[in-house]
């Protein structure tokens, strides 16, 4: 399959801690809709980022390994869905003046950005630039008063590994990958609804694909 930028939220622990909100799992409603998304608490810790030079099929950009310290944060339990993103895209409060561009608001979709892979029903939003993802996070802040952002590479890998040191969060058996991820052999060249596979030990879905 081709590559897709899948948007996952991160919420720094210190922001909600200042509001005396417990460091627990919570559901965030999306104003103006019946939708909501789930945020998982990721405890502070340290891990070895990257993969061992002896790991099979390792890419050269996965090293050298280094120990990284991570502060506590919340992370979305699964990818942002097309249903959720469309609330932002269709928000009537977003300026519609003809001089707006893709930086200040979503530009018109000249083609089907889902590539025919699914819209309603919990499919992950795809074909998104980093700027569009950042604008979505900014929009969420204006709607909820809570600051959301994209995870750093280190935060994402820390959450993906979920305290494990094996090749995948479920171990090193490639035969089990199909139970945890959509990838070339089982995806049939299309995306699939989020949360269809098993989560990692920290309750995060689709981290391996």
The phi, psi pair for 71, rounded to 5°, reads -80, 160
CATH number of the 10-187 domain: 3.90.1580.10
The token pair at 58 is 């390792």
The phi, psi pair for 107, rounded to 5°, reads -85, 160
Give pLDDT, residue 95: 52
Give pLDDT, residue 117: 60
For residues 125, 130, 136, 139, the Cα torsion angle rounded to the nearest 10 degrees is: 180
CA 13, 199, 145, 158 dihedral sign is: positive
CA distance 1 to 26: 33
Give the global pTM: 0.81
Closest by CA to 80, choosing from 145, 133, 33, is: 133
The phi, psi pair for 21, rounded to 5°, reads -95, 130
Boundaries of every domain in the chain: 10-187
Give pLDDT, residue 154: 93
- Cβ burial 177-194 (10 Å sphere, 16+ → b, else e): beebbbeeeeeeeebbeb
Question: What is the residue-level pLDDT of the chain in tens, covering all 209 positions?
Answer: 334 444 556 655 544 444 556 788 999 999 989 999 999 999 999 999 988 887 777 788 788 889 999 999 999 999 999 999 889 988 855 555 555 555 555 556 555 666 556 566 688 887 778 888 888 899 999 999 888 988 899 999 999 999 998 888 988 888 899 989 888 898 888 888 999 999 999 999 999 98
CA distance 196 to 122: 10
Give pLDDT, residue 13: 55
Give pLDDT, residue 99: 55
């Amino acid at each position: 399959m081709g590559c897709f930028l899948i948007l996952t939220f991160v919420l720094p622990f210190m922001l909600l801690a200042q509001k005396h909100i417990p460091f627990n799992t919570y559901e965030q409603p999306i104003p103006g809709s019946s939708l909501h998304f789930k945020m998982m608490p990721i405890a502070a810790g340290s891990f070895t980022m990257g993969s061992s030079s002896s790991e099979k099929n390792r890419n050269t950009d996965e090293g050298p390994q280094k120990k990284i310290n991570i502060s506590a944060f919340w992370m979305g339990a699964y990818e942002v869905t097309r249903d959720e993103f469309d609330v932002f895209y269709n928000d009537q409060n977003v300026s519609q003046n003809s001089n707006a561009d893709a930086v200040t608001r979503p530009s018109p979709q000249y083609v089907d950005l889902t590539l025919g892979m699914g819209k309603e029903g919990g499919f992950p939003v795809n074909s998104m630039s980093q700027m569009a993802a950042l604008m979505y996070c900014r929009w969420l802040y204006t709607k909820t008063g809570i600051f959301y952002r994209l995870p750093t590479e280190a935060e994402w890998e820390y959450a993906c590994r979920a305290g494990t040191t094996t090749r995948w969060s479920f171990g090193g058996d490639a035969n089990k990958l199909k139970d945890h991820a959509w990838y070339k052999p089982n995806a049939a060249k299309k995306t699939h609804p989020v949360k269809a596979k098993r989560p990692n030990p920290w309750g995060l879905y689709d981290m391996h694909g």
